[in-house]
Amino acid sequence: MAFDGTFASAEILGLLKPYASVAAFHPIKREIFPMPIVNRVADLQPDIRGWRRDLHAHPELMYDVHRTAAFVADRLREFGCDEVVTGLGRTGVVGVIKGRKKVNGGDLRAVGLRADMDALPIEEETGVAYRSTIPGKMHACGHDGHTAMLLGAARYLAETRNFAGDAIMIFQPAEEGGAGAAAMIEDGLMDRFKIDQVYGMHNSPGMAIGTFATRVGPAMAATDHIKIHIEGVGGHAARPHKSVDSILVGAQLITALQSIVSRSVDPLDAAVISICEFHAGNTNNVIPQTARLEGTARSLTAEVRDLIEQRVNEVCEGVAKLTGSKITLKYERSYPVLVNHAEQTDVAARIATEISGEANVSLDIPPVMGAEDFAYMLEARPGAFIFIGNGESAGLHHPSYNFNDDAIVYGSSYWIRLVETQLAG
């Protein structure tokens, strides 16, 4: 998942971790009952696990996923996909699998399934045999698992083709802050492949293996970037009255910005403003001339997003006047709110229930204030985003995180049944 331009995509699900599991809010039972996972997927699980671990050992960042994209494209060609397109959205890959059933006049003709491929700039600390071979890079968000599960589904669907229309396998780069989904859409993803609906999935640490969770409407937040430059008047620490202390200005600014959520936003609306960087000075007896703040704002509605941007501007202007400093604000809008469509969310929930049983599917989890660029795809086409349990693993974006291979059979089976149901003919 994506969140604030540095680490984007995984952040969404990582924010579920503090709740230990969706069961903290909703009665998802911990015991997992025998489920109708696709038998062929169970047979393929060792292969899918092998692909996942190969990808894990060779992480790549943002759009620079050339090895990963080549690996995916090679597998799709081996499976016999009818069309394999590379270089969409710079390094994205799309595989087209045509069903053997006849498409009826009013039926859906193409359903898109999306997995993200990029890793994170984190030094891995898992100690597993297949740990990252690239210093400073690791799959700390589970995109290796997402890619492998969709490859598993593609192999099965290419073998059976028990559906009508086209199953569009979408492998996206740069979810972690690079808006790879938007890049693929700009390159014609939806129109070129005539996609009618699109679906996404992300693993969630703390949710039990075999469980799923989703919700209708806003499910993940919009994320905006706040960059502030403060110009004061530097001077000697013993003569602060002859200076405009950029550190003091920054401190007042942070306090004032925090009041926006508590005093400008309706308490019934969700919003977050976090200033996460404060850089100023380099010695203990000099008042620094300049300071720099950076942070993020999150919201779940367009109205609150507009309000936050307005108030951040007003606060910066007010503090500048109050302190006699010069404050330059750069407010950048990033990923939009991820909004699940009602009809398609119902479909996703029904398929998850078919795979895992009603007791293991939650349909009304609280919105998550992390961000995910699959939101762009849901703006372009109807669809839904669902979370799948990763067990009691380390949280997303943590150096000890690892995707749980036991989730593979559930994720791949979900993708398969989704295609066979939505493209039943």
- DSSP sequence for 241-293: GGSB-HHHHHHHHHHHHHHHHHHTS-TTS-EEEEEEEEEE-SSTTEE-SEEEE
Residue 70 confidence (pLDDT) above 50: yes
Band of residue 76 on the pLDDT scale cut at 50, 70, 90: very high
Rounded distance between C-alpha atoms, residue 214 and residue 141, angstroms: 18
Q: What is the mean pLDDT of the chain?
A: 91
d(CA 73, CA 183): 18
Band of residue 278 on the pLDDT scale cut at 50, 70, 90: very high
Checking if the pLDDT of 18 tops 50, the result is no
pLDDT band for position 1 (50/70/90)?
Answer: low
- Whole-model pTM: value is 0.88
Contacts for 394 with CB less than 8 Å, ≥ 6 apart: 205, 400, 401, 402
**What torsion, rounded to 10 degrees, do the Cα atoms 259, 264, 270, 271 define?**
-50
Residue 31: its pLDDT value, please? 37
CATH T-level topology, domain 222-333: Alpha-Beta Plaits (3.30.70)
pLDDT band at 36 (very low <50, low <70, confident <90, very high): low
Residue 20 has pLDDT above 70, yes or no: no
85-103 per-position pLDDT tens digit: 999 999 999 999 999 998 8
- Is residue 34 predicted with pLDDT exceeding 60? no
d(CA 348, CA 328): 45
CB 115 within 8 A of CB 154: no
d(CA 145, CA 259): 40
**All structural domains of the chain with their residue ranges:** 11-219+337-422, 222-333
3-state helix, strand, coil in the chain (%, to 5): 35, 25, 40
Could you report the per-residue pLDDT of 374-397, keeping only the tens digit for each?
A: 999 999 999 999 999 999 999 999
**Contacts with 193 (C-beta within 8 Å, 6 or more apart), sequence order:** 94, 96, 110, 112, 166, 168
Cβ atoms of 350 and 392 closer than 8 Å? no
Does position 6 have pLDDT exceeding 70, yes or no?
no
Does the pLDDT at position 40 exceed 70?
Answer: yes
Name the pLDDT band for 11 (thresholds 50, 70, 90): very low
CA angle 151, 95, 191 (to 5 degrees): 135
Main-chain phi, psi angles of 266, to 5 degrees:
-55, 130
Q: Which one, of 146, 189, 153, 143, lies nearest residue 79 by Cα?
A: 153
Place of tokens 């229930």: 353
The answer to whether 123 and 112 are in contact (CB under 8 A) is no
pLDDT in tens, 105-152: 667 799 999 999 999 999 999 999 999 999 999 999 999 999 999 999
Residue 35 is predicted with a pLDDT of: 47
Residue holding tokens 């597998």? 75
Whether the per-residue pLDDT at 217 is higher than 90: the answer is yes
Rounded percentage of the chain residues whose pLDDT exceeds 90: 88
pLDDT by residue (tens digit) across 239-267? 999 999 999 999 999 999 999 999 999 99
Separation CA 108–CA 11 (nearest Å): 33
In this predicted structure, the answer to whether residue 26 has a pLDDT above a threshold of 60 is no
Tokens 């015991």 -> residue: 31
Which two tokens mark 236?
């000697």
Containing 387, the helix (H) or strand (E) segment is: strand 383-389
Q: Is 11-219+337-422 a CATH 1.10.606.20 domain?
A: no
Q: What DSSP element (H or E) covers 296?
A: strand 290-299
- How far is it, in rounded angstroms, from Cα 54 to Cα 58? 7
